[in-house]
Amino acid sequence: MAVDDVNLEIPAGKLVCLLGPSGCGKTTLLRLIAGLEQATTGQIIVGGKDQAGLPAHRRDLGMVFQSLALFPHLNVAKNIAYPLQIRGVDHAACASRVDELLQLVRMPDAGDRRIHQLSGGQRQRVAIARALAINPALFLLDEPLSALDAKLREHMQVELRLLQKTLGITTIVVTHDQREAMTMADLVVVMDRGRVLQAAPPIEIYRSPANSFVAGFIGTSNLVRCRRTGVDEIEVLGRNYPAPPNSTRSTAGGRDAVLSVRPEDVALHTDPSDGELQGVVEFIRDLGSSVEFHVSAGGITLLSVAPPRGRPNVSIGQDVGITLHIARAALTDP
């Protein structure tokens, strides 16, 4: 089963990202909403109207496909006008709407150009303009930026988000890129194996992931096995800590759990006796804008990130002290 027991409410006018690894069912869910696939059970309701039995072409939506699916036999203007012409919009109204859309995607003079003459970013904009042509109630995008190179992708994420905010259109974006989801979404829906693991605003997902899969998928995280020793206490790497506030989901005393600590919440000290834990620096990755330390402690490797100015003065092979900012960590099910 590709999608199983998904219960989602998508707020009007917001941008929702369906996020997950490939094969998690996010594209299937989007295609169900578009009417390109039929669900065996369940309901899809858009604006109070049950979509069951409505074929894709009767649904009030615009969709951008992974391959963009621009029609190679039509020029830019005719591609954008296609949804209007199909619906029988007259020629003059069609032409003015196409001009408006070309302005919107900042390609005002490109109407006469052929699809194969466009760059990747321009094709992207044309696909977006075509999907928005009829002012649909729902704007669907299936991995829309995956064909672009990293730099252009980051740029288009911002542009797409700004466009969506201007128009206030309810939007669903499928992506496997957590940065993309964090950049664009009002609501991130993390999926795996056809199920929704967590649906929450990006920063909430980052700060309190529902389980270790979400914690590992969103950003980088140190996932440390731990044990709940009391109601408000956990044991991490042989040392007792107060249970973090983000631990409501986890199980009661005496059971194994996973502590998710973000790399920025792992602090290093040059004097080993300064921290609660001791470790050895194994590797340093200096990225310029930040510095990453791989520290082995208690049989595992912890990742610590520091800004270049706050960089602890340590080198590879050195014994260091480690502080875990438990209060900002999240305790999840294993």
Partner 1 sequence: MTRRRSDNSWHLVLLPAATLTVFFVIPFTIMLAVSFFQRIEGGFFEPAFVLSNYVRFLTPFFGKILATSVGLSATAATIVVAVAFPFAYVLSRMPRRRQTTILVFILSVLSLSEVIVGFAWSTLLSRTAGIGNLFHWVGIAESPRAYTPGLASLLLGLAYLAFPYAVLVIYPAVSRLDPELPEAARTSGASPLRAFTSVTLPIMRRTIAGALILVFVFTLGAYLLPQVLGRPRHWTLPVHITDQAIFQSNIPFAAAMAMFLLLVSLALVGLVLVVDSRRRGDQS
Least distance in Å: CB of 18 to partner 1?
17
Q: How far apart are alpha carbons 65 and 57 in whole angstroms? A: 15
- 288 Rama sector, left if φ>0, alpha if ψ -120 to 50, beta otherwise: left
Q: How far apart are alpha carbons 140 and 29 in whole angstroms? A: 11
Nearer to partner 1, 42 or 55 (CB): 55
Residues engaged in binding partner 1 (CB under 8 A): 34-36, 55-57, 59, 61-63, 65-67, 69-75, 82-83, 86-87, 114, 130-131, 133-134, 140
Task: Give 264: exposed, middle or buried? Use CB within 10 Å, 0-12, 13-18, 19+.
Answer: middle
Q: How far is CA 266 from the centre of its chain?
A: 24
Least distance in Å: CB of 276 to partner 1?
54
Least distance in Å: CB of 261 to partner 1?
42
Nearer to partner 1, 120 or 216 (CB): 120
Least distance in Å: CB of 84 to partner 1?
9
Nearer to partner 1, 82 or 298 (CB): 82
- Residue 127 has phi, psi (to 5 degrees) of -60, -40
Nearer to partner 1, 36 or 104 (CB): 36
Q: How far apart are alpha carbons 182 and 135 in whole angstroms? A: 26
Q: How far apart are alpha carbons 119 and 230 in whole angstroms? A: 60
| Number of residues written out for the chain | 334
Nearer to partner 1, 97 or 228 (CB): 97
**Across-strand partners of 259?**
224, 331
Nearer to partner 1, 140 or 210 (CB): 140
Nearer to partner 1, 18 or 257 (CB): 18
Least distance in Å: CB of 116 to partner 1?
10
Residue from 62, 48, 33 nearest 136 by CA: 62
Nearer to partner 1, 27 or 178 (CB): 27
Place of tokens 């295609």: 31
Least distance in Å: CB of 87 to partner 1?
5
Provide the pairing of β-strand 15-19 with 187-192.
Answer: parallel
Least distance in Å: CB of 10 to partner 1?
18
Q: Reduce the DSSP state of residue 231 to 3 states and report it.
A: coil
Amino acid (one-letter) located at 142: D
Q: How far apart are alpha carbons 136 and 138 in whole angstroms? A: 5
Least distance in Å: CB of 89 to partner 1?
10
- Residue 146 has phi, psi (to 5 degrees) of -70, -20
